[in-house]
Amino acid sequence: MISFSEIETTAKRATRSVGFSWGISEEVGKNIRLLEMFGLPGVKNINQYFKIYNAEKFEDINAFSRSNISKKHYCPINAGVNFFDQSSTISDLGQMEINNLAFPLLFIPFVSRTSELIGKRIFLKMDNKEFLFNFNQSIYSNYLSGDIVEKSEKINLQFLENKNSFSETEWSELYKISENTFVEETDELKQKTAGAGLTDND
């Protein structure tokens, strides 16, 4: 079995060898390791992407907006780096669309890391595949095939506000159950165990 450390080093070197800077190559090395750790096919996808990278021309997204549309395919690495670097302004948009992204799985780890950086969950829909990024701690998805995904016609991203996944009633009910670990306080307990006695007024 290839270790994650070997995957990171090799992906970094391969990224450099096709012409990316060392700094971006470091990012991609970490990203491919992350994909593989989350059980997503990072090595497969980057290997395939680099086979065509220098033969085909890819577009860059230098400044993200709500709608990012190009006739040519966007490069997932440059798009990912810029997405991460612009994340503080991008998240204010609430949601965005990216059309024509090549090898979109390579974009995924940038989104996962951005989720951690901005402290918000991000929901991404790529054609019929859905991903929920949880602060770079986990990725929840309906995509399990482990195949190469060469392009995505349309990606929708939503920056989710931090809110609870349960109602106030559900919380109160659970809290009430948790109270069963507490001891009912009698006057004697109040007097002898809290330190201040029954009154703490001067």
Partner 1 sequence: MNIQLRDPKNLMKLSKLGSFHQSKLSFLRSFLNEFKDWEYKKDLFQLNEKGYGRAVYSFSKKNKTYSLVCFANEISDEERSDRVIATKWDAAFALHDGVPTKKDLERLALNVPKQEVGRLSYKELTLSRANKSVRIFDHVVDSLSKGNQPNTELLSKVGYLYRTTAVYGSGKFGLADRFRIKNREEIYGPFRLEMMLVYLVRQFTFDQVNHIARHKNPNTAIELDLNICRNLGIGNSTGLGMAPFIVNHPILLNNWILARETALKKIREIEKATKEELNIFKNCLVRSLKNVTNWNTDSEFQNKKIKQLIEDLEKFIKFLNEDFSFENTFPFNKIYIWAEENLGDECIEYIVSMMMEPYDEIINPLTHKMSSEEDRYFNIPINRTIEELRNILEKRYSEILKIDFKKKENNQNFWFISKNKEEPRVANRYELEGSNLEQPLAIARDIKKLYEAIFTQKNSLKIGKFLTNHNHLRHVVRRAFITEKFPYAEIQDNTIGSQLMPIDMLRLKLSFFGAIKFDPKSDKWLRICMFQGAPLPADLKSFDKHWIYNSLN
Chain contacts with partner 1 (rule: CB under 8 A): 1-6, 13, 21-24, 26-27, 30, 62-63, 81-82, 84-88, 113, 116-117
The Cα 152–Cα 130 span in angstroms is 12
For partner 1, the closer of residues 40 and 77 by Cβ is 77
Shortest spacing between CB 159 and partner 1, in angstroms:
16
**E-assigned strand segments in the chain:** 67-68, 95-102, 121-126, 129-134, 138-141, 151-160
For partner 1, the closer of residues 24 and 160 by Cβ is 24
Shortest spacing between CB 183 and partner 1, in angstroms:
36
The Cα 46–Cα 56 span in angstroms is 15
Shortest spacing between CB 59 and partner 1, in angstroms:
15
For partner 1, the closer of residues 84 and 131 by Cβ is 84
Shortest spacing between CB 86 and partner 1, in angstroms:
6
For partner 1, the closer of residues 65 and 193 by Cβ is 65
Which residues, listed in sequence order, are joined to residue 94 by a DSSP beta bridge?
A: none
Shortest spacing between CB 143 and partner 1, in angstroms:
24
The Cα 67–Cα 77 span in angstroms is 18
The Cα 118–Cα 102 span in angstroms is 25
Contacts of 127 (CB under 8 A, 6+ apart): 152, 153, 154
For partner 1, the closer of residues 4 and 140 by Cβ is 4
The Cα 81–Cα 87 span in angstroms is 10
